[in-house]
Amino acid sequence: MLTPDRTVHTTCPYCGVGCQIDLHIKNEMVYRVDGRFDNDVNNGKLCVKGRFGYDFIHAPDRLTHPLIKNDQVAEDRPLTMSPAHPVTLSGFAPTSWETALDTVAVRLRETREKYGPDSIAILTSAKCTNEENYLLQKFARAVIGTNNIDHCARL
Amino acid sequence: MAGLATTLGSGAMTNSIRDITQADVLLVTGSNTTEAHPVLALQMKKAVRQYGAKLLLIDPREIELAEFAYLHLRQKPGTDVALFNAMAHAIIAHAWANERFIAERTEGFAALKEALADWPPERAAVITGVRARDIVAAARLYAEATNGAIFWAMGITQHTHGTDNVKALSNLALLTGHIGRPGTGLNPLRGQNNVQGACDMGGLVNVYPGYQPVTSEDARRKFAAGWGVPNESLSANVGLTVTEVMNGVLDGRVHAIYIMGENPMLSDPNLNHVKEALESVDFLVVQDIFPNETAVLADIILPAASFAEKVGTFTSTERRVQMVRPAFAPPGEARQDWQIVTELANRLGHNWRYDCPAEIFAEMAALTPQYAGMSHARLETGGLQWPCPTPEHPGTPILHTSQFTRGLGLFCPVTYRPPAEETDEEYPFILSTGRILFHWHGGTMSRRSPGLAAIAPEAEAEIHPDDAAQLDIVDGDWVQVASRRGEVLATAKLTNRSPKGAIFMTFHYAETAVNLLTIDAVDPTAKIPEYKVCAVKMNKAPFVVAASAASKGNKLLTKNN
């Protein structure tokens, strides 16, 4: 039997039940996932997604660089492809974090100055952590100055 | 969640997964629990098989839970309010109500009783297609339980009358007193892993963290002080919801959109409308772990970290806050979302100094009463259910045990309104959308698993065999499903799970983007779109289209209005 290099106790990322899991890791890959018994939520049990649905972590089409729309880049040169997700990003070029963040900050500032804070809308995420959601709504409210902050709770 | 916030004062699951086995009647409606919340469904099955509970299933589809049901009512989709009102009518008419509970813990009973006089089961039977005596039997079963627990999910809320549905269920619990004890309660099952947390954290247009209203001057002053910004810099105006944002772009009010970890180009209703908005907005930022249909339209794409690469917390459907721990570093140059947002805030003239998510949590907990007693240090030893007001507090498995958050439970009379779009000669079928066990939401995560993809490789449209026979469709045929807003291709699956006149499809498949069909009519209070009812037609796909779909992997068809 394979011995993991390490196991990490965390929370399943699929539905809202909140099953507690152990990720078993070997050679920097998740090769097995178990439900944990030390809780009142799943008590060792998992569903098919919670046990086997983790290939996405290591998927080859993960985004790894900031990308910027660039008219100079040929429209038909796809950057990433996945059979299940036939998404073709065309007309984007990799860029540095500095350039990407500066561009976002400048464009948001210009938009706010020209049209007011309520001309900017922010969508936060039911897949992100509490800390990230808290911070993004703080960004909308305290930095931009708008309550246009929502997520897919309704969907 | 607006319904429960009105009737009880708190919009969250009242009870815990653990105490499901203490119920002797489980009323499950609008939740395909075994597929959408499988591990919680195991607890329901255990309650039935091991503890002898009776399952009352109210659902148009013959879902897997039907095998465990003592009584299954199959109402016509979208007629829930009529059914629940008639159950409440029967409970009062037959004196099955808990009069002591009504007297001590509730208000508004007289108004409810008067409104329900119009809802005898015979009237509901005509609207819902459920026999009056079955409605009365269901009412009796639930009312006479020692402990009755109600569970629902998006099948109840994704209607233009979703808030009314929840209020009608709340009336049933308040009439019978099935709340505030183990094995009882009003239990909305939340979909996404952290949808409860995103709401708790104020990822909503009208509230700060902890549901403190943005329209309250006291709340604005509190958050301005907590965040070190002037009072007047915080807006007192309720913001725009996702659906309103798309309209706002098209009428010139919204000029920039920043999206973290969402894919509205797959998950929102009436996708052609969303596409038009996102194509025309001046500036679009997408922060995600994968390129998706929304990112294609972005000006800037920022690479983020997955759950396996971050520290933080998720809050589950039972209000339980639990740790997320990192197993890997993010791939390439990808960064954690909190780091990206902090960098942006500082570029816009602020001075945020967070070293780690634990510090962000501490700041949040100081401003959020429900989380005030929690910290990463405490959560390291196990999850805690809010409210948890002090560092010594053990958390709260059951809400409303001695009084409701708002004081007394409020009866809210509601009346039946038909869905926004009804069937007609041209579009004779009702389309409902939902989930299947093997995939999740837009499929971003689950469809990248070869195993899951092999079990459920392509989109199916479930249709009753009698309807299929009339359309000359056999199992496995390529079919076109069309609404007034668009059309998609899928393979037909003939099954008695679907009632006659209804078609069921999932939204897991980008190439069969079912939200091209759905209607963007929303509940007036909760602003939830009516995913469970729109009018469609189905045809066998012409040979050429079907052959091309089969060879190209089912390309998405769109129709411009």
- Do residues B34 and B81 both lie within one domain? yes
Q: Which amino acid is at A61?
A: D
Give the nearest chain A residue to B257 (CA atoms).
Answer: A121
Judge whether B308 and A57 are in contact, CB under 8 Å: yes
Q: Tell me, yes or no, whether B405 lies in a domain.
A: no
- The yes-or-no verdict on residue A78 having pLDDT over 60 is no
- End-of-domain residue from the set B167, B189, B211: B189
Give the nearest chain A residue to B382 (CA atoms).
Answer: A39
| DSSP assignment of B538-553 | EEEPPHHHHHHHHHHT
B 484-523 residues inside an 8 A Cβ radius of A: 510-511, 522
Whole-angstrom distance, CA of residue B39 vs CA of residue B57? 18
| Interface probe, candidates A73, A136, A137, chain B, greatest B C-beta count within 10 A | A136
- The yes-or-no verdict on residue B309 having pLDDT over 90 is yes
| Mean pLDDT confidence for B24-49 | 95
| Mean pLDDT confidence for B19-30 | 96
- End-of-domain residue from the set B355, B385, B415: B385
| Mean pLDDT confidence for B34-63 | 96
- The yes-or-no verdict on residue B560 having pLDDT over 50 is no
pLDDT of residue B451: 83
Enumerate the residues of chain A whose CB falls inside 8 A of the CB of residue B201: 124, 130, 133-134, 137
CB contact under 8 A, B257 and A121: yes
How many structural domains compose chain B?
3
Q: How far is B480 from chain A (nearest CA, A)?
A: 20
pLDDT of residue B557: 39
Q: Tell me, yes or no, whether B401 lies in a domain.
A: no
- The yes-or-no verdict on residue B104 having pLDDT over 90 is yes
CB contact under 8 A, A154 and B437: no
- The yes-or-no verdict on residue B108 having pLDDT over 50 is yes
- A73 shares contact with chain B (CB less than 8 Å): no
Q: How far is B212 from chain A (nearest CA, A)?
A: 13
- Do residues B199 and B178 both lie within one domain? no
Highest-scoring range by mean pLDDT, A24-33, A66-75, B482-491: A24-33
Q: How far is A44 from chain B (nearest CA, A)?
A: 10
Enumerate the residues of chain A whose CB falls inside 8 A of the CB of residue B159: none
CB contact under 8 A, A136 and B337: yes
pLDDT of residue B271: 83
Higher pLDDT, A133 or B154: A133
Write down the ipTM of this complex: 0.94
- Do residues B179 and B202 both lie within one domain? no
| Interface probe, candidates A7, A10, A15, A24, chain B, greatest B C-beta count within 10 A | A15
Q: Tell me, yes or no, whether B234 lies in a domain.
A: yes
pLDDT of residue B202: 96
Q: Tell me, yes or no, whether B531 lies in a domain.
A: yes
Q: Domain A6-58 is in which class?
A: mainly beta
pTM of the model: 0.92
- Do residues B44 and B167 both lie within one domain? yes
> For position B49, which CATH number holds?
3.40.228.10
CB contact under 8 A, A14 and B193: yes
CB contact under 8 A, A50 and B382: no
Tell whether the torsion through CA atoms of B90, B94, B95 and B98 is positive or negative.
Answer: negative
CB contact under 8 A, B331 and A62: yes
On average, the pLDDT of chain B sits at 92
Enumerate the residues of chain B whose CB falls inside 8 A of the CB of residue A133: 194, 197-198, 201-203
pLDDT of residue B444: 80
Of B40, B291, B447, the CB nearest to A63: B291
- End-of-domain residue from the set B152, B168, B189: B189
- Do residues B115 and B253 both lie within one domain? no
- Do residues B176 and B238 both lie within one domain? no
Q: Which amino acid is at B166?
A: V
Tell whether the torsion through CA atoms of B16, B8, B236 and B285 is positive or negative.
Answer: positive
Q: Which amino acid is at B468?
A: A
In tens, the pLDDT along B111-156 reads 999 999 999 999 999 999 999 999 999 999 999 999 999 999 988 8
* Residue B387: cis peptide before it, omega within 30 degrees of 0: yes
Domain that holds residue B268: 195-385
| Mean pLDDT confidence for A149-153 | 83
Q: Which of A63-77, B47-61, B329-343 is predicted least confidently?
A: A63-77
- Do residues B182 and B205 both lie within one domain? no
In tens, the pLDDT along B224-276 reads 999 999 999 999 999 999 889 999 999 999 999 999 998 888 877 788 888 99
CB contact under 8 A, B440 and A141: no
User: Which structure tokens are listed for B394?
Assistant: 């053990």
pLDDT of residue B550: 55
CB contact under 8 A, A84 and B16: no
B 407-426 residues inside an 8 A Cβ radius of A: none
In tens, the pLDDT along A81-92 reads 444 555 778 889
**Which phi-psi region, left, alpha or beta, contains residue B263 (left: φ > 0; alpha: ψ -120 to 50)?**
beta
> For position B496, which CATH number holds?
2.40.40.20
- B310 shares contact with chain A (CB less than 8 Å): yes
- B239 shares contact with chain A (CB less than 8 Å): yes
| DSSP assignment of B447-499 | GG-HHHHHHS-S-EEEE-HHHHHHTT--TT-EEEEE-SS-EEEEEEEE-TTSP
| Mean pLDDT confidence for B372-391 | 97
CB contact under 8 A, B198 and A125: yes
pLDDT of residue B9: 85
- B335 shares contact with chain A (CB less than 8 Å): yes
- The yes-or-no verdict on residue B553 having pLDDT over 60 is no
- The yes-or-no verdict on residue A56 having pLDDT over 60 is yes
User: Which structure tokens are listed for A66?
Assistant: 């900031």
- B192 shares contact with chain A (CB less than 8 Å): yes
3-state secondary structure of A10: strand
Whole-angstrom distance, CA of residue A124 vs CA of residue B242? 10
In tens, the pLDDT along B474-524 reads 999 999 999 998 999 999 999 999 899 999 998 888 888 888 888 888 888
- Do residues B294 and B338 both lie within one domain? yes
- Do residues B363 and B234 both lie within one domain? yes
Enumerate the residues of chain B whose CB falls inside 8 A of the CB of residue A41: 17-18, 39, 316, 318, 320, 383
pLDDT of residue B561: 30
Whole-angstrom distance, CA of residue B53 vs CA of residue B47? 5
Q: How far is A37 from chain B (nearest CA, A)?
A: 12
- A8 shares contact with chain B (CB less than 8 Å): yes
Tokens 């409970």 belong to which residue?
Answer: B91
- A60 shares contact with chain B (CB less than 8 Å): no
Of A16, A131, A138, the CB nearest to B316: A16
In tens, the pLDDT along B420-474 reads 888 999 999 999 888 888 787 878 888 888 888 888 888 899 999 999 999 999 9
- Do residues B161 and B209 both lie within one domain? no
- The yes-or-no verdict on residue B386 having pLDDT over 50 is yes
Sequence-distant (6+) residues with CB within 8 A of B50 are B21
Enumerate the residues of chain A whose CB falls inside 8 A of the CB of residue B200: 130
User: Which structure tokens are listed for B237?
Assistant: 């105006």
Whole-angstrom distance, CA of residue B558 vs CA of residue B515? 11
Give the nearest chain B residue to A55 (CA atoms).
Answer: B449
Give the nearest chain A residue to B337 (CA atoms).
Answer: A132
- The yes-or-no verdict on residue A34 having pLDDT over 80 is yes
Enumerate the residues of chain B whose CB falls inside 8 A of the CB of residue A104: 258, 285, 300, 302, 344, 347
On average, the pLDDT of chain A sits at 89
Q: Which of the four pLDDT bands, split at 50, 70 and 90, describes residue B544?
A: low
> Which residues on adjacent β-strands are paired with residue B505?
B433
**A102-106 — which CB contacts under 8 Å span 24+ positions?**
A102/B347, A103/A68, A103/B299, A103/B300, A104/B258, A104/B285, A104/B300, A104/B302, A104/B344, A104/B347, A105/B344, A105/B347, A105/B348
- B328 shares contact with chain A (CB less than 8 Å): yes
- Do residues B101 and B157 both lie within one domain? yes
A 94-153 residues inside an 8 A Cβ radius of B: 97, 100-105, 107-109, 111, 114-115, 117-153
DSSP state at residue B320: E
In tens, the pLDDT along B319-369 reads 999 999 999 999 999 999 999 999 999 999 999 999 999 999 999 999 999
Judge whether A93 and A67 are in contact, CB under 8 Å: yes
- Do residues B119 and B176 both lie within one domain? yes
Please name which of B167, B169, B163 lies closest in space to residue B150, comparing C-alpha atoms: B169
Q: Tell me, yes or no, whether B156 lies in a domain.
A: yes
Determine the number of helices (DSSP H) and then strands (DSSP E) in chain B: 21, 21
pLDDT of residue A77: 47
